[in-house]
Chain A
Amino acid sequence: MIKIDENGFYGDFGGAYIPEMLYPNIEELKENYEQIMASESFKTEFDSLLKDYVGRPTPLFHAQRLSEKYGVKIYLKREDLCHTGAHKINNTVGQIILAKRLNKKRIIAETGAGQHGVATATVCALMGMECTVYMGAVDMERQKPNVERMRILGATVVPANSGSKTLKDATNEAMRQWINNPVDTHYIIGSVVGPHPYPEMVARFQSVISAEIKAQLLEKEGRDSPDIVIACVGGGSNAAGAFYHYYNDEKVRLVAVEAAGLGVTSGKSAATTQLGKPGILHGSKTLLMQTEDGQVVEPHSISAGLDYPGIGPVHAHLFASGRGEFLAVEDEDAMIAGIELSRLEGIIPAIESAHALSALNQLKYKASDIIVINLSGRGDKDLETYIKWGNY
């Protein structure tokens, strides 16, 4: 049974390991978010923005040529068609409405590749709220177009210059700025990570993905559950959304695909479940890539969105309990899968999502299976990486 307990733990993982300075913020959120989310007016506003602004429901597309190639029926959940190009906006729409109802005046966020930053800057523009996004200085350099997108949308982008200057450090910096501005500021975390209640709250905003899959599959196949759901996992928000309504439906295989980088044993990898052990980062206990002294290790993936040394606590629990199947896909194989989908279906996927596609090569399945792959984002932001890779 996948269920969060009152202290914010999924099995052994989760909790709220935060400095006391953040305790009032986290308590305020914990005490209010369920009630706010359950209110009719919230649901109405959230659903209406998802429909008319984000463009939901996103299609569940039967990818015929891909299906033929792999000898199994494959559906793609088209999160790449969301406004801003990825599933990230489902969560930012939810949290911005929440922030307004908590009377917050400012929004802060962290971002790695820039997708969550863009999704946050977008909803802040929509709601007329001040927005500051923290981004590793290294990531700002390698994701320039997204930095400019955020600026065009009116957000301030602040470089995180500490540590390795990537997502992990951007998250540290956002938490520090929340400590500095505890009263008027809401922190929109972009994945199912962070202190309780963030992992569950973000998963619930993303759960619209599996809610739609159920309805769409019922219409197309006369059954509401596939045999297998596949999604890539960095922190794991798109996977949490795609798995959410199937957590406790044991017939459905939940396949989480991590980034192996240059190879799981290469020292340049982000395959947290294979390389990590239990530890505490960014407010929750989870599986974490770390040295034997407990210092956090820098991950590597060609895809900035999977380049994170931890994993959401719910995924750590899916792994530890055996409910989820965890695979790891190397940089090169993800790129090949990205090109393959482009050629077979006319869809250029985000390199994150290409990891999920490549899992088809490793996975054991029956010809009669129905597989849903969560296509979490589109590849526009990755054109430079595709071009650099060049093998097409």
Chain B
Amino acid sequence: MAMNRIEELFKNKEGNILSIYFTAGFPSLNDTMGIMEAIEEAGADIIEIGIPYSDPVADGPTIQESNTVALNNGMTLKILFSQLAELRGKLKIPVILMGYLNPIVQYGMEEFCKKCEEVGVDGLIVPDLPMKQYLESYKGLFETYNLRNTFLISPQTSPDRIREIDRETDGFIYMVSSASITGAKKDVTPEQIAYFERVGDMGLKNPRLIGFGISDKASFSTAAKHAQGAIIGSAFINVLREAKELKKEINTFIKSIKA
């Protein structure tokens, strides 16, 4: 496979990697470009764009609501691809699409992968795509279109399963920080630290980013001590929802995490 931006990032930067998630079409249909530019300018390392879905079962209230708003704004995969086609050339940062399987399957998996490559998407996270199905039906497609696939692990994932996931993941592994949906805001517990360390000691080939419940500088720093970095989603959506001046407030938020 050809090199892609996700691999380059992890090659050039060993830690403190910050990935920022937002839902496409939120708060307004045409905010995609402005948000992506602001994220890159503020110095985040990866942009993760959520494809809105009517039934996001792994997401908490904040991201659910952003999905509903985005769908009411009329966001679709077709519109998202056309937005990305216009702006991708202007950005250097790796871009990942995160979405549930049904809208992708209805779009057509091959057409979807092809389009992702065309508009400069580097990787995918599809939480309800089972690994077995991926291996049997889609792995070849992902490779053809130079897309890295990220699987999730949680504190309940067995060591054998983590090894299997590590074998079949390329790019990075998404470590769900606790048994939770997105946006659960808790302090990092000793049990979580033990889980981060247990996985850290496994000598996996893939780098790891920690997500779910990472919301501010303190939780980001803790996560970054135990993995290559972390993903912030719900807390960023809250910033977008409240923002009067999007670019400025995105900049302030991301700088506050990295400070």
A: residues with CB less than 8 A from B are: 7, 15-21, 23-25, 162-163, 168-169, 172, 175-176, 179-183, 279-283, 288, 290, 292-296
Contact = CB atoms under 8 A, between A and B. Distances in A.
Given A21-B154, A162-B68, A279 B61 contact: no
Interface string B162-206: 000100000000001001110010000000000000000000000
Contacts of A294: 53, 102-107
A17 B128 contact: yes
Contact of A17 (B60, B101, B165, B180): B101
Contacts, number: 108
Interface of B: 53-61, 64-65, 68, 71, 76-78, 100-107, 127-130, 132-133, 151-154, 156-158, 161, 165, 176, 179-181, 184
B181 A180 contact: yes
Nearest to A180: B180
Nearest to A293: B76
Nearest to A283: B128
Given A172-B57, A179-B181, A180-B180, A15 B130 contact: yes
A19 B60 CA distance: 14
Which residue of A169, A172, A181, A282 has the most chain B CB atoms within 10 A of its CB atom?
Answer: A172
Given A180-B180, A290-B106, A295-B71, A24 B158 contact: yes
Contacts of A282: 55, 57
Contacts of B154: 20-21, 182
B106 A162 contact: no
Given A19-B57, A295-B53, 8 more contacts: A15-B133, A25-B156, A180-B180, A279-B102, A288-B102, A293-B76, A294-B102, A296-B55
30 contacts: A7-B132, A15-B130, A17-B130, A19-B127, A19-B128, A20-B151, A20-B152, A21-B152, A21-B154, A24-B156, A25-B156, A162-B65, A176-B57, A176-B58, A176-B59, A176-B60, A179-B58, A180-B184, A181-B179, A182-B154, A279-B102, A279-B105, A280-B102, A282-B55, A282-B57, A293-B76, A293-B106, A294-B105, A294-B106, A296-B55
Given A20-B152, A293-B77, A172 B55 contact: yes
A169 B128 CA distance: 17
Contacts of B165: 20
Contact of B161 (A16, A23, A175): A23
B68 A295 contact: no
A163 to B, nearest CB: 6
B157 A281 contact: no
B54 A296 contact: yes
Given A17-B101, A17-B128, A294-B106, A162 B61 contact: yes
B161 A21 contact: no
A168 B158 CA distance: 30
Contacts of A182: 154, 156, 179
B55 A163 contact: yes
Contact of A20 (B57, B60, B102, B127): B127
Contacts of A183: 156, 179
A25 B157 CA distance: 10
Contacts of A179: 57-58, 179-181
Contact of A21 (B58, B101, B129, B158): B58
B128 A21 contact: no
Contact of B129 (A17, A168, A292, A295): A17
A279 B128 contact: no
Contact of B55 (A21, A24, A281, A292): A281
Given A279-B106, A295-B54, A16 B130 contact: yes
Contacts of B156: 21, 24-25, 182-183
